[in-house]
Structure 1
């Protein structure tokens, strides 16, 4: 072995040792499988065989990059290894001139999973749906790249197109073409039902949306609303502070949410401001499997503060913050260091929020459930039933009759059974 090779091996071993220790943050030291020393010895053994037994002279810089990608991949979908070039672009914000397609994504069992397209955005207009799996982006297999890289591939100059191959339960693969454009989030929608029940359909919890939701709520109260449904279905992403403010409109005291760090240590608590509370009447929140992030803050506050029922299905489970750690070679690690959590400190990431009243949507019985994905190509939910030939997006035809919204129906039943002024959840 040459001196240069030995030097590279030592540097690589040191780097892997550091990240093996970082990986150990997410488990107890008592577990033998997570002992940093044991993991380091395994890596050293692998590196020894690569250096001495591999059939060709290995490119150790590529080996190092692959090792670091694998370490980050084993943590969560949002932690990732960045090359030196990616770190420079990340810090410089070079993608500010680029736009995306309006879609909230995660990675589930290696699959690039669509949590929800932005309502009215380019992805939704092109036919992308919640629960879809994006298999290819412009011919690039998404199972070979990180979530961060997939998000970067979707961005480009306004007006340019990106081609997606989409897997959907019960369908052959779809070939969709999406035109990139700035995403304009639709404001919240509101209406008054019989029985003095107001309904607010939230479309986003991004910056500034809490003020719009407040306006919708105040308008409904002026119209005579004494009970309320807050519909958070399909709301993914958004701002933690906006979510806390919306929850505060209904809950006037106590803790509404937390952020937690390593070992579930509380980093920050978000307390209700009594002066921001707007509505005292009975209220119900609607969630589904594509409710994620900021919307989960509101749903969990309703449950833990016993403010009202949460109706629907278990939410997706998201809400985390990353910090960029620059490495000696100029590359970096984008590492999750903060999780969003309920008022009692239960993180949403990977766990979601369980509704107090479970109601499934029959029309989504065949939709891909992330809990069913294993990462294997033999998964029934992603294996097309009509062959492998991609199809274009279905042509627009006569509108099909909409199935009855069973979740909303149950929410209205709960509220109609409550007297005005009562906010206690049902048994």
Structure 2
């Protein structure tokens, strides 16, 4: 079976091959045991068939056979752990869009307000920006169909589509006397997974935020570093802040490539499956594009999976100081195995380990410098109202894969203020890089670093 691990860490193509292996010296008892096990498996499959037929014939309403089978497959997978599941064809396509980081669309960031789609911001150099769509515009109709009554996801799906296809938006704009109609032609849109800016009182710190790990992340990160090093002279550049807070993960390859951007050599991550021969090690092969400048990585309870690979590797190599609160603790690799026209399954196939051999599963990355972000009382009340008051980590998920090496830990807060001035974790990172405050963990000592 060829596997390309992705996200969460998700995946790519795979194939299942049944192989019968002759085993010299197999005893009669061993052969009997194998035969008995096979017989028991077929008995259980017969049980499934009996139940399926009974539901089809006796349920109060005629059931949909395809939905019954999908539910059975999903039930089988979700009984394994919280991250194994079945994806129908549409869900599989949506996942591929997310991992590619690009799609045919209009180039607008949107939210839902009073049942209408509100434009948060048009993305530069996209059909929406060229058509003059503005932040605050309310989209009321899509191709003459009212948006009212649609979910945000349904509206987004209608705005996405094949490149070079048209769509008409009817817009309500504050101050405009009548609705505005704009005809746009869909184009290739890249999801903005990397954002960057100068930070600090003297604008001498490079701030880079990674929101997920897609096929576009590593290349966009390189552009961010290149842009920041052009804007900030080398003799003035104090260092970089890499913000991985609330980044849920993504592609394993993207996590490796992002980490490689900051390392000259050494192991980045190892993945270990059920069998020892399936162990794989991924090593740095490029070069440190930041040329050794100090780095602080920000994490919190929403930093998971691929984010934890990056933070853990840079922490183990003493290349960066990790600041914030304990990460989510998702230390498993999922492989996506396509099922032809029937979608795909997401199956947990391995655990991953940091260069020093730490398992992150149900434990997370402990920051070198702990700083808990205070959540305003109003935000606490809103979170509690929707059942999100307590921090949730991997260890709180029912049926989670157990940590085979480390003590499990609970989650930590994942709140990040909207305004940078209110962001205690960010401000502490800025003050450390600026030299306004000191901490024994920054810069990290390389004396006890992992071997290269």
Which TM-score applies when normalising by structure 1? Answer: 0.54
Deviation, structure 1 residue 348: 5.5
Q: Aligned-pair distance for 1:235?
A: 3.4
Describe the superposition over 1:294-322 as per-residue Cα deviations: whole angstroms up to 9, x where unpaired: 43332111222222321112234557443
The 5-angstrom pairing of residues 327-342 of structure 1 reads: 331=342, 333-336=344-347, 337=349, 341-342=353-354
Superposed CA offset, 1:31-73 (max 9, x none): xxxx998888677657656656985488566543321121122
Contact kept, 8 Å, 2:321 with 2:443, in 1: the verdict is no
Q: Does 1:202 align with 2:209?
A: yes
Q: Residues of 1 paired with 2:420 and 2:201: CA distance?
A: 21
Task: Tell me the SS of whatever aligns to 1:199.
Answer: strand
Correspondence list, 1:82-231, <5 A: 82=87, 155-158=157-160, 182=189, 184-185=191-192, 187-193=194-200, 198-204=205-211, 205-206=213-214, 207=216, 208-216=219-227, 218-219=229-230, 220=232, 222=234, 224-231=236-243
Which runs of 5 or more structure 1 residues have no equivalent in the other structure?
Answer: 1-17, 19-34, 104-117, 127-137, 141-149, 162-179, 376-399
1:257 maps to 269
Aligned equivalents of 2:45, 2:209: Cα separation in 1: 48
**Residues 153/346 of structure 1: CA separation in 2 closer, same or farther (3 Å cut):** farther
CA distance in 1, matches of 2:241, 2:279: 32
Q: Does 1:409 align with 2:427?
A: yes
Cα distance in 1 for partners of 2:270, 2:190 equals: 29
Structure 1 residues 41 and 71, CA gap change in structure 2 (3 angstroms) = same
Which of 45, 70, 90 matches 2:75?
70
Structure 2 gaps of 5+ residues are: 1-15, 17-36, 111-119, 129-134, 137-148, 161-166, 170-185, 399-417
Q: State whether residues 199 and 228 of structure 1, in contact with CA within 8 Å, keep that contact through their aligned partners in structure 2.
A: yes
Q: 1:50 to 1:235 in 2, by over 3 A?
A: closer
Q: Is the 8 A contact 1:258 1:267 kept in 2?
A: yes
**Which of the residues 335, 340, 343 maps onto 1:322?**
335
Listed as ranges, the matches of 1:327-366 within 5 Å are 331=342, 333-336=344-347, 337=349, 341-344=353-356, 352-363=364-375, 366=380
Instruction: Provide the alpha-carbon RMSD of the alignment.
Output: 5.3
CA distance in 2 between counterparts of 1:423 and 1:187 reads: 25
Q: Would the aligned equivalents of 2:108 and 2:122 in 1 still touch at CA under 8 Å?
A: no
Q: In 1, distance between residues paired with 2:154 and 2:84?
A: 15
- Give the deviation of 1:98 after TM superposition: 6.7
Looking at structure 2, the residues matched to 284 and 422 of structure 1 have their Cα atoms a distance apart, in angstroms, of 9
Matched, 1:370 2:388: no
1:188, 1:245 → 2: CA distance?
17
- SS of corresponding position for 2:375: helix
- When residues 235 and 38 of structure 1 are mapped into structure 2, their CA distance, relative to the original with a 3 A threshold, is same
Tell me, yes or no, if the aligned pair for 2:326 and 2:366 is still in contact at 8 Å. Answer: yes
Asked if 2 retains the 8 angstrom alpha-carbon contact of 1:301 and 1:342, the reply is yes
1:74 to 1:312, Cα distance in 2 relative to 1, 3 A: same
* Separation of aligned partners in 1, 2:447 and 2:271: 29
Contact 1:311 1:356 in 2 (8 A): yes
Q: Secondary structure at the match of 1:229?
A: strand
Q: What residue number does 1:299 align with?
A: 311
Q: Note if contact 1:287-1:312 (Cα within 8 Å) is conserved in structure 2.
A: yes
Deviation, 1:342, is 2.8
Radius of gyration: which is bigger?
Answer: 2
Q: Secondary structure at the match of 2:310?
A: helix
* Cα distance in 1 between the residues matched to 2:93 and 2:311: 38
